[in-house]
Structures are given as C-alpha cells and as structure tokens.
Structure 1
Amino acid sequence: MVYFKLLLLAVCLALSSALPAQLFRKTGDRKNGINSTRVSGTYGVDLSSKFSQNDFSCLKSNGFDYAIIRGYESFGAPDPNAAVNIQNARDAGFQYVDVYMFPCPQCSKSATDQVKEMGI
C-alpha cells in the first residue's frame, strides 16, 4: 500500500511538471489547413487509499484542483479512509472534493442504506 501511494504521488508530480496547464487540440493550421485551438484543462486525483494533509498540499501546489475519494467499497462497507481524506483535502485547500462509491448489489442492504452508511 505504501509503495502504491508513493508511486501515485510520483506519477502525479511527474505529470504536473511535464504537462502544461493548458493543452492544445489540433483543428487545422493555415499552411496545411489545420488550426490550433487552446483548450483549458485541470488536474484532479482519484483516491482509494489514505492520504495525509501534506500529501494533498503537495498535489495542490503542483496544480491539482479537485479530489474524488472512494466512499464505499464493493464488498459492502464504507471506506475507512474516506472521512479523513475528505477533511485532509479540504484542509489542504482543495475546493472541489467529491465522493464515489462501489455499491454492493449482492448485499442485503438497499442502495439507499449503503449511501446513508457512508455518513458523509
């Protein structure tokens, strides 16, 4: 788990330094009938393991603007790291923090109960 976390941070940092904040999409240029149009982009992170406030601060300082955090696991239980990840992301200055879930359709709990069980 620690190696995965370190790998994810390394990839995030490499991407944030290698890719420009604005991407280009080729739609044609005058010489060859193709123009270049500037397209705005933003970076976000999808998490399913525990991240500290320092981890989120590092991501924020490297251009990441939003976090999507796993809130429910497919075996039918809330992710134990969800609440602390949400708080750490907000404390690090992430304005946009969302939660996703992997519902458990074979569990005896209804979808509504599974969402309520997340408690967030």
Structure 2
Amino acid sequence: MKVLLIFAILFLQVSAKLGWDGIQAVTVSGFECLKKNGYDFFVARVGRSNNIVDTTGIQNILNARQAGWTDVDGYIYPCTTSSCPSGAVQEQR
C-alpha cells in the first residue's frame, strides 16, 4: 500500500511543458499568440543536411525572443556526404 501511495504522490507532481519544433516562418505576433495559448518552448531548425544555414529558423528564434519567449533552442541536421566539411567545422557554423 505504501508503494502505491508513493507512486501516486510522484505521479501527481509530474509537470509538462507544451512546445513545438517548426521550420516554417513565424512572425512575432504568431509567437505572442502561441504563448497566450499555453506554448512554453520552441525549437528551430538552423542547419540543413545540405550544409546550408536555415535563415528562417534563425529568424524564428529572434522572433520568439522578441515575443518574450525564454525557452528557445535550435538544432542542425549535419551534412554527412564526403563533400561536406568535418563535423567540428559544421558545429561552429
């Protein structure tokens, strides 16, 4: 019985955040609207697998920050073909 009680207490204390990962352009007002509707975090693609910087993702990060978001991040798809620079160089971009 104690184990069940402890499990119930731990389960009730779990919290979750609502967020999303997007590659489409989002305006500052779009981010403000999302925040008003309960979204807490955003993750943007900032690097494509063809070794091109995703300027839309970078602008989305700037727009989210301007809209007051504090939990914002970015990710890349590393280029893996032989014509790409090393992983270390891609990471620095």
Give the TM-score taking structure 2 as reference length. 0.80
Higher relative contact order (CA 8 A, sep 6+): 2
Q: Is the 8 A contact 2:28 2:63 kept in 1?
A: yes
Residue 34 of structure 2 is aligned to residue 59 of structure 1: yes
Between structures 1 and 2, the one with greater helix share:
2
Matches of 1:71 and 1:100, distance apart in 2? 6
Other-structure match for 2:71: 96
TM-aligned CA deviation for residue 116 of structure 1: 2.5
Aligned to 2:89: 113
Large movers: runs of 4+ above 4 Å:
none
- Matches of 2:73 and 2:88 in 1, distance apart? 18
Using structure 1 for the length normalisation, give the TM-score.
0.63
- Residue 35 of structure 1 deviates from its aligned partner by 4.3
Q: Is there any run of 5+ residues in structure 2 with no aligned partner, and where?
A: none
